[in-house]
Amino acid sequence: MENMNTKNLIYDISTGYIKSYSLKVILELEIPSKLKTGPKTIKQLCEECKGYSEHGLYVLLRTFSTMGIFKEDEEIDRLFSNTEISETLINDSNKYPWVNDSYLQVTLLPYFNQIEESLKCGKSMATFNNGYNDGFDFIHKENNVKKYFHNTMTEYTRNQINSILEIVDFDKFKTIVDLGGCQGELIKKILDKYPLNSSMIEKGVNYDLKQAIEKNEKNYKDNRYFEKMGNFFTDETVPIGDCYLVKYIFHMFSDNQVLQILEKIFKSIKFSNQNEVCIYIFDHIIYKNKTSIPISIEFHTINILNGGKERTFNEWNNLIKSSNFKIDKISNLPNTLCSFIKLSLK
């Protein structure tokens, strides 16, 4: 007899695109935002969403209501309201920060019609075929993608900051450099935890591309906080520090590119005549037959980010062996799907 759980699982996978594209329509029409002030009928929503039939919009909202996204009134016909779940999709990143990730994922949907080609040739054909040099060129030139991407990365950081602060004692370092720190959230929280008058930390540097930093708010008051615009690959060195943070960066690059970045760190250290340094890599480690990362992330590295990949324990180990550093510790980051790898000089 056919196992119904197996059948339902396969059915859910094979029809997943329907949910994804339907969610894309919901977000593009901003239905959750339109219901923010209270329940509305399908007719009212259609008047606000030009070009959609009442029947089509009703099928869309009715389907999502069976999943707990929206609620259809049991007495008044075709009247819908938000639920706790659909409220998180209101286009207000201050109140509902994870909405950026939802918008990012559905914005990338059309590019997945080229996933088969990307898998065959090992290159991100979704970006190449659409006229971009690589995933970063794509993110930079597509304004919506750029906004959602940077806001999502900041929210991932916020979600993991407490775990990072719990496992790492930053008080023994003088200069902490966050490579690819985006909006500087992690460095700011470290400086907040270790105030000027009671810690060794003299400087916290947020280093990232110009397009990632130039629109950052300038209202953080700690004078130890600095922002440095730069590029891993074109700059001769990276900012000098005795502690480097590399969070969700290396999985976006090939092994050769990762080694280039580690070499830039090594040059910076040697230039400052330092004998000791710590590098904390916060990234994914793939464990066989286990759910160690969200499925979307691994496919984005293949389809969108040219050369990027998720790595197994052995792949991380072999990669670091090819650099001027050695692994001191590998562990899971508490309460997350992220791991951290601590490096020091060989």
Q: Rounded to whole angstroms, what are the CA distances from 224 to 43, 206, 208?
A: 56, 11, 17
Q: Are 245 and 277 in contact (CB under 8 A)?
A: no
Tokens of 54: 């009442």
The reply to whether 284 belongs to the active site is no
Q: Rounded to whole angstroms, what are the CA distances from 104 to 99, 117, 175?
A: 9, 22, 33
Residue 214 CB burial class (10 angstroms; 0-12, 13-18, ≥19): exposed
What gap in Å lies between CA 22 and CA 59, rounded to an integer?
Answer: 10
The position carrying tokens 């059915």 is 11
* Residue tagged active-site, from 55, 140, 150, 251: 251
What gap in Å lies between CA 309 and CA 75, rounded to an integer?
Answer: 51
CA angle (69, 75, 77) in 5-degree steps: 70
Q: Which amino acid is located at 66 in the chain?
A: T
What amino acid positions are annotated as catalytic residues? 251
